[in-house]
Amino acid sequence: MSKNLVSQEIIDEFSVAIGKEKVSIDKPTRTCYSITHGPEFLLHDNYFDYFLPDAVLRPSCAEDVQNIVRIAGKCEIPLVPSGGRSGSSGAEGMRGGIVVDMCRMTKILELDEKNYRITGEAGVRMVDLVSYLKKRGYMAIDWPASDEIATLGSRAAINGYNWWENRWGSAGTIIQGIEVVLPDGNIVQLGRGGNRPTKSAIGWNLMDLFIGSRGTLGIITKVTEMFTDFPSILVSRGAAFHTVKEGIEAYLDLKKSKYSNTVWRVVASVSEHMSFPITVGKSWPDEIAMMVNYDLYGEPSEVEGMVKCAQEILKNHNGFTRPEMSEMVSWYSSHMSEWKGIKEGMNIELGLASHLFGDRIKTEGYSARPVFLDPNIPDSSLLAYYSELQKLLATIEDGKTYPNLAECVKVYDHGAIIPGVRGFNKMWVVLHVYRKSMNKESRKEFIEWFKKHIELILRFGGAISTTHGWLPRELEVEFIKKIMGEKEYELMKKIKNLIDPKNIMNPKIIF
């Protein structure tokens, strides 16, 4: 099982082409690429061997990437492009394949202040991009929760979820240009604006073919994103609701397109049930079913006007605040909305998993693993879906429907709702998986439950997402066909075959 499938001769060829120091074949280094932050490894008892790549290459320029791809194409060696590996989207290594880690391509290449465009190499970390812009008075608008480790290239490759999606859309909307090394080794420049059509019927929008393609069509080496001036003020507010119905209706009204210039983010959440007792040491009042928080960004006059409007909307849906809630509301606002950084954001969510389920908080023992589901649900069926979702989530824990699964999975977040693409929402469902208790039976039940989960989403006109969610690999082809349609999937395959006829680009996923 441990014998490499990629021969030493091929490794030597890579070493000559890009430099020996950029090639690692030692097992300890390869080990680190057998796993990502994605949950796929939970379904494999022997993930270590299953996902262990034969080599890791770290190109430092696009020319290196071209050389890698040409050799891989010639020898028909699978390539797995890798960014920060903080996503859920299939950056695990593969046996007999090579990981191309873009971490050494970290240059910010151009800041076009007049046109609000910034261009960087694929390995630029988002936190460095954010900091670079902030020092110059600008704000990055493609801002993922994992900004500390997510990279520009992977933002394009997974069409990443963006913190300010209600205002600016996903990473794919913000990205204006990409450079891609195709499987034949050629480089293409694709995008909108500049010498590419901004609004035109001259040519196809080829860039969007690669946005979210998860490394299956080529390796993205350069990305151009939009940014904005730093808004003058931020106001974060919220209100509580006695019923989920009132909360969701208020949320939907707040995220209406006519307000979205100022309303950058809205969250309708029940997760505080779990998180507040730990973070502020107080229990969440039982009679509160939902909390809706919002962030307003902009210039003082427009934000002040929107504050009044937003408060009116919440009030119309019987939203309320009470003095004893102020600490909780302000905690939420400062930690989750103002977005000071990872210490107050993703860390908290992930950290809670360690403590709420598992033994870590009691015995400093094993912690649990958060698994994000994040289906996309349309506005029109949000409330109905939410209700059905709760029934489905209850089956995880009831101990009867999935007796083995109940031993190792708990529902942490029953559905915080955040805006996605206009008209759609991310249902931020989080499970806590106690990995140490996972076994063959519980994994099987997990897959069974997951199928029901997807079917429910499809029934309500939604879609599964691996942007911030997850689709187990063994279900991928079956459900991509269901989500996209058989004919559409066949079209994808034709395009894949045209661009990557030898199927060397991340072949373990989608196809």
Partner 1 sequence: MKKYGVLSLKEYEKQLENCVSCYCGLCNKNCPAYTELKDAAVSPRGLSEVALAIIQGKYEISELSNEILYSCTGCRACEWYCTENIFIDVKTRKTRVSGATVTEILRSMKVESGTIHPKVRDALNNIAKYGNPYGGLPKSKDDWVSNLGIKTDNIDTILYVGSLVPYEDSAKIMAEAVIEVMKKAQIKFAMLGSEEMDSGTSARVMGEEGLFEEMVEYNLEVFKRNKIKHIICISPHDYDTFINYYEDMAGIEIKHYTQILWELIDSGRIKFNKELNKKITYHDSCYLGRRNDIYDEPRKILESIPGIELVEMEFSRGTAYCCGGGGTGLWIDLPKVDIDLKRADQINEVNVQCVAVACSICSIMLSAAMDSRDYDIEVIDIAQLVKESYC
Nearest to 186 by CA among 15, 81, 63: 63
Q: How far apart are CA 175 and CA 350, in angstroms?
A: 28
Nearest to 52 by CA among 86, 99, 10, 15: 99
Shortest gap between Cβ of 389 and partner 1 (angstroms)? Answer: 25
Q: How far apart are CA 503 and CA 511, in angstroms?
A: 9
Taken as a whole, the chain contains a residue count of: 511
In Å, how far from its chain's centre is CA 465? 9
Residue selected from 104, 107, 192, 482 as contacting partner 1 according to rule CB under 8 A: 104
Structure tokens given for 38: 């994605």
Considering beta carbons, is residue 13 or 40 the nearer one to partner 1? 40
Name the burial class of residue 457, with classes exposed (0-12), middle (13-18) and buried (19+) by CB atoms within 10 angstroms of its CB. Answer: buried
Q: How many CB atoms lie within 10 A of CB 258?
A: 8
Q: Does 367 interact with partner 1 (rule: CB under 8 A)?
A: yes
Considering beta carbons, is residue 181 or 368 the nearer one to partner 1? 368
CB 410 within 8 A of CB 431: yes
Q: Does 186 interact with partner 1 (rule: CB under 8 A)?
A: no
Q: Which helix (H) or strand (E) holds 87?
A: none
Q: Does 34 interact with partner 1 (rule: CB under 8 A)?
A: yes
The CA-atom distances, in angstroms, between 68 and each of 31, 80, 434 are: 21, 11, 39
Considering beta carbons, is residue 154 or 224 the nearer one to partner 1? 154
Binding mask 431-470 for partner 1 (x = CB under 8 A): ----xx----------------------------------
Structure tokens given for 94: 């593969």
Q: Show contacts with partner 1 in window 387-406 (CB under 8 A).
A: none
The SS3 assignment for 415 reads: strand
Shortest gap between Cβ of 146 and partner 1 (angstroms)? Answer: 7
Q: Does 361 interact with partner 1 (rule: CB under 8 A)?
A: yes
Shortest gap between Cβ of 115 and partner 1 (angstroms)? Answer: 27
Q: Does 92 interact with partner 1 (rule: CB under 8 A)?
A: no
Q: Does 365 interact with partner 1 (rule: CB under 8 A)?
A: yes
Q: Does 278 interact with partner 1 (rule: CB under 8 A)?
A: yes
Considering beta carbons, is residue 28 or 203 the nearer one to partner 1? 28
SS3 assignment for 314-349: HHHCCCECCHHHHHHHHHHHHHHHCCCCHHHCHHHH
Range in contact with partner 1 (rule: CB under 8 A) among 26-34, 189-197, 231-239, 473-481: 26-34
Q: Does 33 interact with partner 1 (rule: CB under 8 A)?
A: yes
Considering beta carbons, is residue 18 or 389 the nearer one to partner 1? 18
Angle made by CA atoms 402, 407, 411, in degrees to the nearest 5? 80
Considering beta carbons, is residue 436 or 444 the nearer one to partner 1? 436
Residue selected from 178, 181, 352, 499 as contacting partner 1 according to rule CB under 8 A: 352
Q: Which positions lie near partner 1, rule CB under 8 A?
A: 2, 24, 26-29, 31-37, 48, 56, 58, 84-86, 101, 103-104, 106, 123, 127, 131, 146, 148-149, 278-279, 342-343, 346-348, 350-355, 360-361, 364-370, 435-436
